[in-house]
Amino acid sequence: MQIVAEDIERSFGNTRALSGVSLTLRAGRIHALVGENGAGKSTLMKILAGAERPDAGSMTIDGDRYAPRNAACARERGVGLVFQEMTINPALSIAENIFTGQFARYRRNGFLNYQKLQQDAQALLDGFSAEISVRQPLNKLDLGQWKCIEVARALSTSPRAVLFDESTAFLNHREVNLVLGAMRALKAQGLIVAFVSHHLAEVEEVADALTILKDGLKVGDFAAGDLDRDQIQSRMVGRDLSKGLYPQRAITRSKQERLRLDNIVTDRHEPVSLSVMEGEIVGIGGLKGAGGERLLEVAAGAVKPASGKVVLEGQQKSFASPADAWRSGIAYLPGDRTAEGLIVDASVLDNLVMAKPPRRGPLFDRKKANALAQSLIERLTIKTSSASARSGSLSGGNLQKVVLGKCLAIVPRVLLLNNPTRGVDIGARVEIYRSLREAAASGLAILVVSEDLNELIGLSDRIVVMRGGCVSAEIDDPAATTEDVVIRSMI
């Protein structure tokens, strides 16, 4: 099987998402699409899968015209799509989620043949070694296993091509490996596999070919191994990144303690202690559920510990709520930017200033708010038509910068970050890392949980590794460590 797209055009209003992009996907190969947020990757993937229609251009499957009106038409031609967002219904069983919309196949005389439904669902899961039993309850599975259920759903219509639209964006290291393993199994079965990813380590691990997009244009098609990581990154952002992603670490560190978590005990922790100094970036590593995110929630006032103390600049604190922690100078960037970090239907300005709105007496000071928002837009290089633009119109990387800007707007003493570049492209990552290092240089204490091992090592001045709710290792010189050393402390 071969899918060919030629001269694809797509615009959304005045924004040109794709301009004359051509692509060829072949059976038995894994093809990666890479580029910054807004480069057109997801739009192209959705056009191939019938979820979007092009304004111009043509597509063929094995030489025959291919112009799906919708995703159902694409599935009839053998093309399935696994979305970035989770589409699992927790009220249904695993088998029911896999065959959603196809129950008519299993009805006889008005009754659902549930045994056959389960047998077929299990066969799909076993076909790519998902190691999931259809009898398991959904709430006992992790996100990677949920994503594998979505892969099985895509396979339930017997496709010849399976497309993944940033399907690993919100998964941890182990969960990502499950999905990459599924891709390899599908390739071995002779299917076309294509995926969008911001993580070049995934591209290096499984891709046979890659296409680089920038600003809706195709930069080029390359075979695996043609380019090293620096060359791929440079072509994605249009500038030289050979000096690396991470700014230089601070040469000297302050001995002034800014935040201390002292013998914190929660439902996920044995007693845990750690501290962050003025001007220091401390990274917390560990598998999902190891306890790092819960520590951030304690420091942010979102979770009350069973015992232990939160000490801010030498004073013990007992936060009644997250708002109380914000008022005390502790800003928190949560793991889910759209659900917890901002209001997507509000303007960029409103999101940037919402944590501490400028006031003139009892009234909102629009002039000061505009000046503050504009300074943050420039400082963080947020790409937006204006401060009054709807936040939901921004790309993922720029949305993340808005949430970071909201945190920095209060001039915090401590900044808590939960996977600050999750789902963010390489160009936005460079800008976020630069902003964080500049903030630390001005004295801000930063505590960051990251499931990206390269980020954890490259950004942190010091690393605390957690396993099973306990601190398993502390790494004082991340520049001298490796991913293998960190992983051994995590598992």
Is pLDDT of 238 > 90? Answer: no
Q: C-alpha angle 379/385/432, rounded to 5°? A: 30
Q: What is the pLDDT of residue 241?
A: 60
Residue 85 has pLDDT above 80, yes or no: no
Phi, psi of 90 (to 5 degrees): -65, -15
Q: Residue 83 burial by CB count (10 A; 0-12/13-18/19+): exposed, middle or buried?
A: buried
Question: Does 245-329+412-491 carry CATH code 2.40.50.140?
Answer: no
pLDDT mean over 49-64 = 95
Q: Are 144 and 175 in contact (CB under 8 A)?
A: yes
Higher pLDDT, 273 or 244: 273
Tokens at 125, concatenated:
């899961």
pLDDT digits (tens, 9 = 90+) for 226-236: 998 888 888 88
Look at residue 240 in the predicted model and tell me its pLDDT. Answer: 64
The mean per-residue pLDDT over the stretch 441-448 comes to 95
> Does position 427 have pLDDT exceeding 80, yes or no?
no
Contact by Cβ (8 Å): 431, 266: no
Residue 116 confidence (pLDDT) above 70: yes
Residue 96 φ then ψ, to 5°: -65, -35
Tens-place pLDDT, residues 480-491: 998 888 988 888
Residue 392's pLDDT band (boundaries 50, 70, 90)? confident
Is pLDDT larger for residue 277 or for residue 171? 277
- CATH match of 2-237 with 3.40.50.720: no
Say if residues 235 and 246 touch (Cβ distance below 8 Å): no
- pLDDT confidence of residue 52: 92
Q: Structure tokens of 293?
A: 């995110």
The larger pLDDT score, comparing residue 140 to residue 299, is at 299
For CATH 3.40.50.300, list the domain ranges present in the chain: 2-237, 245-329+412-491
pLDDT tens across 20-35, in order?
999 999 999 999 999 8
Longest dimension (CA), the chain: 76
How many other CB atoms sit within 10 Å of the CB of residue 34?
28
Q: What's the Cα-to-Cα distance from 9 to each of 53, 67, 93, 386, rounded to whole Å?
A: 9, 14, 40, 26
% of the chain surpassing 90 pLDDT: 56
Task: State the DSSP H helix or E strand holding residue 486, giving kind and residue range, or none if neither.
Answer: helix 483-490
- Token pair 């699409």 in the structure block, residue: 33
Distances (CA, A) of 387 to 129, 279, 400, 406: 48, 30, 15, 13
Show the tokens assigned to 414: 């401590």
Cα–Cα nearest to 27, from 154, 187, 179, 184: 187
